[in-house]
Amino acid sequence: MEVQFTPEQESKLAEIANVEGVAPARLVQDAALRLIEDDARFRASVRRGIDQADKGLFIEETDMDARVSRMLSI
């Protein structure tokens, strides 16, 4: 697979890679793998939520607001 970046994007990647002490290609590969893993976790969470909703398992809006507030404060 090949990914194209603008010269500006390549420059930014090179700067970050230099700071991190890795090759730019490795930086991009690691970022893509994290994205894939995060996406898989997100999709699994959505599926669990849909399954719970299909079973009639809901929480009150105030409880959900509290959960989101706790998640964002971490």
Can you tell me the mean pLDDT for 19-29?
A: 96
Q: Which of 45, 20, 40, 19 is nearest to 30 (CA)?
A: 20
Q: What is the pLDDT of residues 27-47, one digit of tens each?
A: 999 999 999 999 999 999 999
How many CA atoms within 13 Å lie on the side-chain side of 18? 6
List the chain domain ranges.
7-73
What span, in angstroms and rounded, lies between the C-alpha atoms of 8 and 46?
A: 35
Q: What is the pLDDT of residues 63-73, one digit of tens each?
A: 999 999 999 98
Q: Which amino acid is at 55?
A: K
CA distances from 52 to 8, 32, 55 (A): 45, 30, 5
Q: What pTM was computed for the model?
A: 0.67
> What pLDDT does residue 74 have?
64
> What pLDDT does residue 9 have?
97
